[in-house]
């Protein structure tokens, strides 16, 4: 099978799975609904059914898809950025920084909403971006910019943020239950406004990433070669870092820290369609969104209550990751 | 020792200092038992008249977030309770039949277990709540505010209640739930019964000479206890004891072993969910915790408290108080038959 047919097949399968995922999301839930109910609902409006189909299930599915797409795109960008397949939004400290912000907000009782985010969401966004900027500034200091430096600085800053997170959790043990849903992520409280808040940013970053994808291909050859081939390395690198940090911080702000999507999905896509970044970015976004859509289906249907979605992404993601590692040998 | 603590100790066996037979929580039985309480007879009726005017005029009912809440004209048919103590109060008000949804922690009274579960305190399924089409949702502290807001945005009437300080806060809590469910009369009766039991304890305590030092152990990992900000601290004080951790300005704290040796409590209460948990906890305390020098351990004054009753801010706290009084001051009950 040629690469082109493979890519086409991938797109068809992914799109079909995505549409099926949306349909399943709207049809399944603790309240039993049949396709017939949905058809009847479209014809005649019912208040309770409207709330369940549109306000609860569809908004949740759309948000899960957007966040999955944003995380996978962020991961794909960072893996190219670091030329390292282990990179994901955790590596530069976005995720740990954002969870620190959320936990601080929860334990201080800072719940007010602003700019379409809840209090913890807003603080998560700010601290997530703050940590990346800090990491970036620290890595720049000594004699130019090196990928290894930013990687290590990011890991160290992430560890520090995690330690502080644990500290705040320990000090305010009564907010622990609530914090779990930030630390492991959840779409329990999804609403249309959240989707509307992150959608424009996602589209902006997505278009920019596709536009700059050619430069990312050049970066893969090494910074010197890329420079020689006419890519303004510093500017492109900065743009990609900002994009990936923005995508990850926005995701955490609406849904908490969801691991493994940013790490696993780009790998999966790269194996199936090859390393060209334009296709990789687009496919990662689609596949990541679809993956998280199905994970959320499980998260809200396995138990009577709600399961943090991070549990599911890791449970599905980790074995898959191991399989990939094994298969490569 | 009394280990089977799912039955409140006070049932049918109230403190001696006056008052009617103890209010049996839940159902009309309890209400009948205290309906002869004359001072309250006229009051609810007047209030009802008042509220007819209020319901049609500007609303002045507010929940504990300070948000105005439209006072319903009558008791709602489908009430969703988002916390176990709220469920207990609803049942104590005789509204069990109106409760359409409860959390998975709502196991008291036993009838609550057969009601549709909405999930937990922080992870209820909003879709289930919506599908119950509730006329009233009562949330409590412990339900995240973001969650409450999300439910409110569906257009559901959410009434939010906060925990207060000490046992005294039970009364406004019951009154508010009574008001929002339009069961003011029953709420007054319930409150009056609880008030009499508290006063009975106060009266009995005036005769108590000593104040034993008390340590409360939360069964589980290590020496977790309740600090001065916990309402359990208030219960200990009312029961004529002194909480050794009273000076610590927290609700729950991990106590230090050397500190408990120094404090040397006379009585230790273990908050346990079952007799088995209590036995395990007591064994650990007596044998492995290395606190043999503590007076309570030497004299064997290690007693069980029902964790569910003591950790929910509801009417059963008065049962916990009754039990504590009897264990701390047996002399008050032994001498006067």
Structure tokens at B278: 């209590």
Residue B235: pLDDT band with limits 50, 70, 90: very high
In a domain, B191, yes or no: yes
Burial class (CB in 10 A: 0-12, 13-18, 19+), A106: buried
Same domain? For B53 and B147 the reply is: yes
In a domain, B6, yes or no: no
Give the structural domain span for B283: 210-334
Contacts A56 to B, Cβ<8 Å: 126-127, 130, 154
Q: What is the pLDDT of residues B146-202, one digit of tens each?
A: 888 889 988 899 999 998 788 999 999 999 999 999 999 999 999 999 999 999 999
Same domain? For B89 and B116 the reply is: yes
C-alpha distances (whole Å) from B46 to each of A178, B37, B43, B81, B184 are 43, 16, 5, 29, 11
Q: What is the pLDDT of residue A143?
A: 60
The answer to whether residues A25 and A58 touch, using CB atoms and an 8 Å cutoff, is yes
In a domain, B10, yes or no: no
CATH of the domain at B35: 3.40.50.1980
Contact B104/A304, CB-based, under 8 Å?
A: yes
Residue B255: pLDDT band with limits 50, 70, 90: confident
Contact A51/B130, CB-based, under 8 Å?
A: yes
Contacts B142 to A, Cβ<8 Å: 177
Contact B145/A305, CB-based, under 8 Å?
A: no
Domain final position from B131, B162, B197:
B197
Overall domain count for chain A: 1
Residue B10: pLDDT band with limits 50, 70, 90: very low
Determine the residue among B65, B130, B255 to mutate to test chain A binding: the one whose Cβ has the most chain A Cβ atoms within 10 Å: B130
Q: What is the pLDDT of residue A144?
A: 62
What's the whole-number average pLDDT of chain A?
85
Q: What is the pLDDT of residue B301?
A: 92
Average pLDDT over residues B59-85: 87
Contacts B82 to A, Cβ<8 Å: none
Same domain? For B132 and B279 the reply is: no
Please indicate, yes or no, whether the overall pTM of this predicted structure exceeds 0.90. Answer: no
C-alpha distances (whole Å) from B149 to each of A97, B137, B157 are 26, 12, 11
CA proximity to B128, closest of A201, A33, A119: A33
CATH of the domain at A120: 1.10.3470.10
Overall domain count for chain B: 2
Same domain? For B151 and B257 the reply is: no
Cα dihedral sign, B104-B106-B112-B116: negative
Between B2 and B315, residue with greater pLDDT = B315
In a domain, B91, yes or no: yes
In a domain, B21, yes or no: no
In a domain, B3, yes or no: no
Same domain? For B218 and B178 the reply is: no
The answer to whether residues B232 and B250 touch, using CB atoms and an 8 Å cutoff, is no
Please determine, for residue B75, whether its predicted confidence score (pLDDT) is greater than 80: yes
In a domain, B149, yes or no: yes
Give the structural domain span for A94: 3-26+33-328
Q: What is the pLDDT of residues B103-124, one digit of tens each?
A: 999 998 999 999 999 988 888 8
Q: What is the pLDDT of residues B125-146, one digit of tens each?
A: 888 899 899 999 999 988 888 8
Q: What is the pLDDT of residue B263?
A: 92
In a domain, B202, yes or no: no
At B11, give phi and psi (nearest 5°). Answer: -55, 120
Q: What is the pLDDT of residue B26?
A: 30
Q: Give percent above pLDDT 70 in chain B.
A: 81
Residue B265: pLDDT band with limits 50, 70, 90: very high
Q: Tell whether B115 is within 8 A of chain A (Cβ).
A: no
Contact A56/B120, CB-based, under 8 Å?
A: no
Q: What is the pLDDT of residues B12-53, one digit of tens each?
A: 333 333 333 332 233 333 332 333 333 333 333 333 434 444
Q: Tell whether B119 is within 8 A of chain A (Cβ).
A: yes
Q: What is the pLDDT of residues A297-321, one digit of tens each?
A: 998 888 766 788 988 998 887 787 7
Determine if the peptide bond prior to B109 is cis (ω within 30°).
yes
Helix (H) and strand (E) counts in chain A: 15, 0
Same domain? For B224 and B183 the reply is: no
Q: What is the pLDDT of residue A114?
A: 63
Same domain? For B182 and B282 the reply is: no
Same domain? For B35 and B145 the reply is: yes
Give the residue ranges of chain A where pLDDT is below 50. none
Instruction: Please state the ipTM of this predicted complex.
Output: 0.72
Domain final position from B167, B197, B227:
B197
Integer Cα distance of A318 and A249 in angstroms: 23
Average pLDDT over residues B253-263: 88
């Amino acid at each position: 099978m040629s690469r082109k047919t493979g890519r086409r097949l991938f797109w068809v399968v992914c799109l079909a799975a995505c549409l099926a995922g949306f349909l399943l999301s709207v049809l399944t839930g603790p309240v039993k609904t049949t396709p017939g109910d949905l058809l009847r609902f479209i014809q005649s409006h019912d208040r309770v059914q409207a709330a369940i189909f549109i306000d609860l299930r569809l908004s949740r599915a759309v948000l899960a898809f957007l966040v999955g797409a944003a995380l996978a795109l962020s991961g794909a960008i960072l893996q190219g950025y670091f030329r390292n397949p282990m990179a994901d939004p955790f590596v530069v400290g976005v995720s740990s920084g954002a969870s620190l912000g959320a936990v601080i907000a929860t334990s201080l009782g800072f719940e007010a909403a602003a700019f379409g985010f809840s209090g913890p969401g807003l603080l998560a966004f700010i601290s997530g971006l703050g940590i990346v900027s800090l990491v970036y500034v620290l890595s720049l200091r000594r004699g130019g910019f090196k990928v290894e430096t930013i990687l290590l600085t990011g890991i160290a800053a992430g560890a520090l943020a995690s330690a502080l997170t644990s500290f705040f959790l320990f000090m305010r043990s009564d907010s622990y239950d609530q914090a779990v849903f930030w630390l492991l992520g959840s779409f329990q409280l999804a609403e249309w406004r959240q989707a509307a808040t992150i959608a424009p940013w996602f589209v902006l970053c997505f278009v920019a990433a596709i536009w700059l994808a050619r430069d990312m291909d050049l970066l893969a050859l090494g910074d010197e070669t890329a420079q020689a081939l006419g890519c303004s390395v510093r500017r492109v690198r900065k743009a990609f870092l900002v994009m990936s940090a923005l995508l990850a911080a926005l995701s955490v702000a609406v849904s908490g820290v969801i691991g493994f999507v940013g790490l696993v999905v780009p790998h999966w896509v790269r194996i199936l369609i090859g390393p060209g970044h334009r296709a990789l970015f687009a496919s990662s976004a689609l596949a990541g969104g679809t993956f998280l859509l199905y994970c959320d289906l499980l998260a809200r249907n396995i138990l009577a209550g709600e399961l943090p979605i991070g549990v599911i992404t890791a449970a599905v993601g980790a074995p898959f990751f191991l399989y990939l590692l094994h298969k490569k040998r | 020792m009394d280990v089977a603590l799912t039955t409140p100790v006070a049932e049918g066996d109230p403190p001696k200092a006056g008052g009617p037979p103890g209010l049996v929580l839940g159902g009309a039985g309890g209400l009948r038992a205290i309906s002869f309480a004359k001072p309250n007879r006229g009051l609810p009726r007047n209030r009802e008249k008042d509220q007819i005017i209020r319901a049609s005029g500007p609303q002045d009912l507010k929940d504990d977030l300070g948000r105005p809440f439209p006072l319903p004209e009558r008791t709602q048919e489908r009430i969703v309770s988002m916390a176990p103590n709220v469920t207990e109060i609803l049942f104590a008000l005789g509204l069990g039949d109106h409760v359409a949804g409860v959390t998975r922690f709502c196991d008291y009274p036993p009838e609550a277990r057969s009601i549709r579960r909405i999930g937990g305190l922080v992870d209820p399924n909003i879709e289930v709540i919506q599908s119950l089409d509730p006329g009233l949702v009562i949330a409590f502290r412990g339900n995240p505010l973001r969650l409450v807001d999300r439910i409110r945005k569906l257009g559901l009437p959410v009434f939010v209640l906060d925990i207060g300080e000490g046992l005294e806060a039970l009364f406004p809590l019951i009154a508010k739930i009574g008001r929002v469910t339009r069961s003011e009369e029953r709420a007054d009766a319930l409150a009056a019964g609880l008030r009499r039991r508290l006063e009975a304890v106060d009266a009995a305590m005036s005769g108590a000479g000593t104040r034993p030092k008390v340590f409360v152990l939360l069964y589980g990992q290590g020496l977790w206890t309740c600090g001065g900000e916990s309402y359990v601290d208030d219960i200990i004080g009312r029961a004529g004891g002194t909480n050794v951790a009273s000076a610590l300005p927290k609700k729950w704290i991990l106590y230090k072993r050397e500190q408990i040796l120094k404090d040397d409590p006379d009585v230790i209460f273990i908050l346990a969910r079952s007799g088995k948990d209590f036995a395990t906890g007591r064994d650990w305390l007596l044998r492995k915790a290395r606190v043999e020098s503590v007076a309570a351990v030497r004299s064997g004054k290690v007693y069980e408290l029902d964790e569910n009753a003591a950790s929910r801010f509801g009417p059963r706290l008065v049962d916990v108080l009754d039990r504590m009084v009897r264990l701390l001051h047996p002399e008050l009950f032994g001498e006067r038959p």
